[in-house]
Structure 1
Amino acid sequence: MSVLITSGTYIGEEMQAEFGRIPPAFLPVGSSYLVQHQLRRLGEQDEVWLSLPADFAMDAALARLLEAEGVRIIRIDPTKSLGMSVFQSILEIGADGPLQIVHGDTLVTPPETPPDDCLSIAGVVEQYSWGLVTLDGERVRAVASEHRGDRLTEESLMLSGYFRFSDTAALLKCLSRSDFGFVSAIDRYCRDHAVAGIAAIEALDFGHLKTYYSSRYRLAAARHFNTLSIDGYTVHKKSRDAAKLDAEANWLRSVPAALQPYTARLIETRGAPQAGEYRTVYANFPTVAELYLARSSRFVWQKILAGCREYLDAAARFEGPGETPLAWLVIDKLRERLGQYPGFLPAADERLTINGAPVGTLEDIVARLAETIAAAPARAPAIMHGDFCFSNMLFDVRSDRIVLIDPRGAVRGEQTIFGDIRYDIAKLGHSIVGRYDQIVAEHLVAECDATGRDFTLEVPGGDALREWLEERFFAASAGGAAFDEPAVRAAMVSLFLSMIPLHADNPKRQRTLFANALRLHARFFGE
């Protein structure tokens, strides 16, 4: 059966202030777009169609992602109504068979054996304009638009985003006879067909700012099992690696008051920390990784970068004892991880190329990185988060403040809040310059030839915002450290090489991380 995902207009202005001017299917949810979650929930279908605004510029990575999933695109005038959008889409799809429709701002799990004609319904929980449903038993008797919130009650039922029609030609006629009003066309269709209203279909609404965050919360709470749970207002993190979580909790507990506005709030009984687990207050903010996948404006990104520099400046004011652990963080840890590489990656003494350019052997690369770190200016240790990347930053758009989660909290196996600020800068660079979040989302995927030594990883040009972010990164400094200094660049390359064993569940991503390290090394240290 064919499926139409309706995403032919743009999200509302309130949401655009955070995520930019994007269609709802491309709202970021975790490390993926909403449409990727939708495709996983829909499972195997005969055809999947996605309507998009006619003037929406889809970059090469997005186009490749949809093509790989077999999604067919229908371009729609974004000023047209939902009903007209659906009408035009059906004309392109064809009206000679049954059709499922999923709203582009909704994540649904269709029933395994649904009735031939059905739609999903849910109780009203927010005061927005909804399509209200009247039932006679399980059959839908009437559907009407409701624009006045004072008419909504606890018993009100609404359309929740999933529709299945056995007679697509009849739906086409209903749209035409209803002046292309979607809700009135559904009402007309239900008069002539036995349409079941199914409340058991799980539907998460991402279409309004408030429902976006509540749905995002519900999705996160459902997806995490053993290591992370979200319950009420708290995040509960636990792991078999008790030492790791104890170090994280100790960092959150121990940072000075001046840095606490930038960190997640630890919840515990004073003097009674729990071993191998901890709780923090749940903050209903997007991660910076989500904003990076979206098209947030430069105004938002200026505030994010300013918040990052502000935090780094504040952290650098607190000096720690002893010498900087930069060599251990960048080189020693990397050499340890090299022994855990998967067998499909080349041996350390094999000569490699990236995008046709020779980069020497892995041994050569590690030696160059070690030489660069050894030549780095000495610095006193300072407070270090240790994993200062986009996925570990939340951004409060209303207060223009970053909130940090999941710190490292340990160096050489010992709990500490101190490290080297240049390592945190490199972690920020691995998100901005290294495009880590695009790799995780599989927007960037490397290829390798039959020899296993020649890699290709092209970062598409023409992405003005991300290119601007890179320029701003390399022009910045914080805590007395320039973001473009050689030690930061070396640490960025090392990060991608050392994280490869941590992604053993995804060999394709491991290959891309390796190729990306070669790409960065060629860019930073190539002749």
Structure 2
Amino acid sequence: MTQLYYLDNNIISDKIKEYCVSTQFSQIRIGNETIKKNIDDVLGSKKNIKVIDNIDLLTEDSVPDEILLISSSVFSKNLSNLFKFLEFAGYSMINTFWGHNNCFVYKGDKNRLISYLKENRKKDIYFVNFPEFIIDLTSLPELKSLLSNNHDSRHFNDLKSVGDLYVKKSMNFKKLKTEYEFLANVPLHLKNYYVEVFEYKQYSDFSQYSMVSYDYKDVSYLYLSKSLTEDSFKALMSLIHKYFKESKKVTTFNYEKNSFESLLEKNNARLRELEGIQYYEELNSFIKNFKGISITDHYQRIQDELTKRKSIYYEEEYIFSHGDLCFSNILFSEQNMDIKLIDPKGYENKGMRSPYYDMAKISHSIFGNYDLIINNMAEINFNENMHAFLNFTNHDYIKNYIYSFENLVLKMKMNIKLIRLIESSLFLSMIPLHYENKRKAFMLCLRSIELYEDFLS
């Protein structure tokens, strides 16, 4: 088998260095892992990879004449496809070069490659375009698309960079249409807080709309990559507070105050979905054995406590509400001191909802550590009494954000107990959306119970 080499390129573009907070493509973080770690996890177990940081190292006698080389600026969201592509490339009988000088895969004689890269001598090399699934990390738009859509995805969404725009596609027609309607009908004084969208189109098997591309990163990425300082998070909370205040100024829409009932109905529907999951009984047994309560009893106590607080929920003035204000849906630029909100819940009830749900979504990332769970940065451990708990000890920096969020709750004069209760219900309702990953489902259920215990204390 041809030896595979991994060329660990330095990043040349200052804009990309600034955007990624990295000087090498291999060290760009996707969630909690680097590009190189992703490559190693998929390719390392199947191929013997040798890493080089300079093309001149190929001239050493220990390097065979025939090589297969991939530069670290080559990536794919589907790494199994990348592996298959490299296997295909390895069978090439001629000197073949895919991509361009700063982002490429090459199979063939090493001396021909060196002559081309150093002297632009193209003799005896066959040049080919990359397949569509390859991401060129030297392209800032492609890199932005990767980093803005890199987290655990739930609903058949596809985000692609097209010039200065992103095109979002989905097989879920209803969800994407109501999302577009919300963004297209944002009140004028709030438009600066949301991405600009246009051109909703529906085809036989998918729908899509276009949105403006911004040089911002989503907060989940900043959070997981430890790029969000305590001061920058405080600034972010100030911007969100300002957004909430502006959102209360929407008074021209006719709407119903029904979001509390909708919350209870959604919880009930998600429980029915959860009970239909193939491994539900296994999950329920785990929870009963290691947390001392069944899932249905836990669900019911959440609903009961929520119902007791219905009047508190409705005391809060309705706002033009995003409806899914989790970290991955907030784009943030500390340099511009600005946010852009993406992927709203939809335009039901003209987008008018209680701010409690949005605040609970923020809380489920801060107190709940939701982003850590779905990005495999948590562990299930057991204490001496064999009670299960989630371990986040490798991520203590998260505690630095709690004060700023609690301060936001105080400024908005909202009930923190109710926010935390809704947060607990969110973790339970999220399980059917992550059913394909049993480990995450167990963690989400366990976390819901832990958060309820926090609520009681």
TM range (shorter): 0.7 to 0.9
In structure 2, the residue matched to 1:103 is 71
Q: Which residue of 2 aligns with 1:386?
A: 323
Deviation at 1:380, TM superposition (A): 2.8
* Contact 1:5 1:102 (C-alpha < 8 Å) held by counterparts: yes
Rate the CA distance shift 1:477–1:326 in 2: closer, same or farther, 3 A. Answer: same
Alignment of 1:503-522 (within 5 A): 503-522=434-453
* C-alpha contact 2:73 2:103 (8 A) present in aligned 1: no
Q: 1:259 is matched with which residue?
A: 190
One-letter code of the match for 2:179? E
In the TM superposition, residue 293 of structure 1 has moved relative to its aligned partner by: 3.1
Q: How does 1:353-372 map to 2 (within 5 A)?
A: 358=291, 360-372=293-305
Whichever of the two has the greater Rg, that structure is 1
2:103 corresponds to which letter in structure 1? S
In 2 relative to 1, CA 122–163 (structure 1 residues): closer, same or farther, beyond 3 Å? closer
Q: 1:248 aligns with which of 148, 156, 179?
A: 179
1:19–1:295: 8 Å Cα contact kept in structure 2?
Answer: no
Task: Give the direction of change, closer, same or farther, for the CA distance of 1:455–1:37 in structure 2 (3 Å limit).
Answer: same
Aligned partner of 2:140 in structure 1 is: 212
For 1:159 and 1:13, the matched residues in 2 are separated by 15
The DSSP-based 3-state class of the residue aligned with 1:394 is strand
Once the 2 structures are TM-superposed, how far is the Cα of residue 30 of structure 1 from its aligned partner? 7.9
What's the CA shift for 1:18? 4.1
TM-score by length of 1: 0.64
Residue equivalent to 2:279: 344
SS in 2 for 1:318: coil
The 1:240/1:281 distance shift into structure 2, 3 A limit, reads closer
1:464-479 alignment runs, 5 A limit: 464=397, 466-477=398-409
Contact 1:387–1:424 (CA under 8 A) maintained in structure 2: yes
Question: Following the alignment from structure 1 to structure 2, what is the Cα–Cα distance between the partners of residues 38 and 226?
Answer: 24
Number of residue equivalences: 426
Deviation of residue 257 (structure 1)? 1.0
Q: Look up the match of 2:412.
A: 480
Q: Deviations over 1:379-414 (max 9, x none)?
A: 23222111111222223455332211221125xxx5
Q: Structure 1 residue 458 and structure 2 residue 391: aligned? A: yes
1:50, CA displacement in angstroms? 6.6
1:520/1:10 Cα in 2 relative to 1: closer, same or farther (>3 Å)? farther
The answer to whether the 8 Å contact 2:9/2:26 transfers is: no
Say whether residues 1:317 and 2:252 are aligned partners.
no
Contact 1:425 1:488 (8 Å CA) reproduced: yes
Whole-Å separation in 2 of the counterparts to 1:317 and 1:44: 56
Report the CA distance between 1:493 and its aligned residue.
Answer: 1.3
Taking the aligned partners of 1:48 and 1:463, their CA distance within structure 2 comes to: 34
- Write 1 or 2 for the structure with the bigger share of helix: 2
The answer for the alignment partner of 2:79 in structure 1 is none
Of the structure 1 ranges 18-27 and 259-268, higher mean CA displacement relative to structure 2 is found in 18-27
Change beyond 3 A, Cα 1:352–1:12: same
Aligned-residue Cα RMSD (Å) equals: 4.8
Whether the aligned pair in 2 keeps the contact of 1:388 and 1:428 (CA below 8 Å) is yes
Q: CA deviation at 1:488?
A: 1.0
Q: CA deviation at 1:415?
A: 3.8
Gap regions ≥5 residues in structure 1: 52-81, 124-157, 172-181
Show structure 2 runs of 5+ residues with no match.
Answer: 76-81
Deviations 1:55-83 (A, max 9, x none): xxxxxxxxxxxxxxxxxxxxxxxxxxx33
User: Is the partner of 1:292 in helix, strand or coil?
Assistant: helix
- Say whether residues 1:402 and 2:369 are aligned partners: no
- For the residue of structure 1 that corresponds to 2:344, the secondary structure is coil
Contact 1:31 1:440 (C-alpha < 8 Å) held by counterparts: no
Specify the code of the residue in structure 1 equivalent to 2:73.
D
2:103 match:
160
Give 1:183 deviation, angstroms: 6.8
Residue deviations 1:256-293, cap 9 Å, x none?
Answer: 21111111223259xx9999956232314433333233
CA 1:329–1:106: 2 relative to 1, 3 Å: same
The one-character-per-residue Cα deviations of 1:223-267 (angstroms, maximum 9, x if unpaired) are 99975464553525454543x334323322333211111112232
Q: CA deviation at 1:494?
A: 1.0
How many Å separate the matches in 2 of 1:217 and 1:383? Answer: 27
The answer to whether the aligner puts 1:428 opposite 2:336 as a matched pair is no
Mapped partners of 1:432, 1:456: distance in 2: 17
Distance (whole Å) between structure 1 residues aligned to residue 248 and residue 267 of structure 2: 25
Q: What is the rounded CA distance, in whole Å, between the counterparts of 2:413 and 2:247 in structure 1? A: 12
- Partner residue of 2:88? 112
Q: 1:437 aligns with which of 344, 347, 371?
A: 371
Q: 1:427, CA displacement in angstroms?
A: 1.0
Matches of 1:463 and 1:509, distance apart in 2 = 21
